[in-house]
């Protein structure tokens, strides 16, 4: 079983839109993959705290999946850079 980190842009999207994209990504995973970051409670505040929490999840991931348009979100860019620098395999969907 692989632990999977999902990185997706959230700014300007409703919780329903975020959940729908996350479900689309989950549908591409192997049945035994386990998503380790399921929080979408992001409220637009405490941005660095949320990023720090995401990096903690990323630290234990076997791979990271990046949603479409990840290049447009600061946190996704930082998460992608962390994967590159620390050798976490990257999948873009």
The yes-or-no verdict on residue 45 having pLDDT over 90 is no
Average pLDDT over the chain, rounded to an integer:
90
Mean pLDDT over 54-62 rounds to: 94
Say if CB 1 and CB 66 are below 8 A apart: no
Write the DSSP symbol of residue 9.
-
Predicted confidence at residue 42, as pLDDT, reads 59
Task: Judge if pTM exceeds 0.95.
Answer: no
């Amino acid at each position: 079983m692989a632990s999977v980190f999902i990185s997706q842009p959230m700014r300007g999207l409703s919780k329903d839109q975020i959940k729908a994209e996350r479900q689309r990504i989950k549908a591409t995973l192997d049945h035994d993959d386990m998503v380790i970051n399921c929080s979408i409670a992001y409220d637009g505040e405490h941005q660095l705290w949320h990023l720090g929490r995401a990096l903690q999840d990323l630290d234990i991931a076997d791979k990271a999946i990046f949603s479409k348009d990840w290049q447009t979100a600061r946190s996704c860019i930082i998460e992608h850079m962390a994967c590159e620098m620390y050798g976490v395999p990257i999948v873009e969907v």
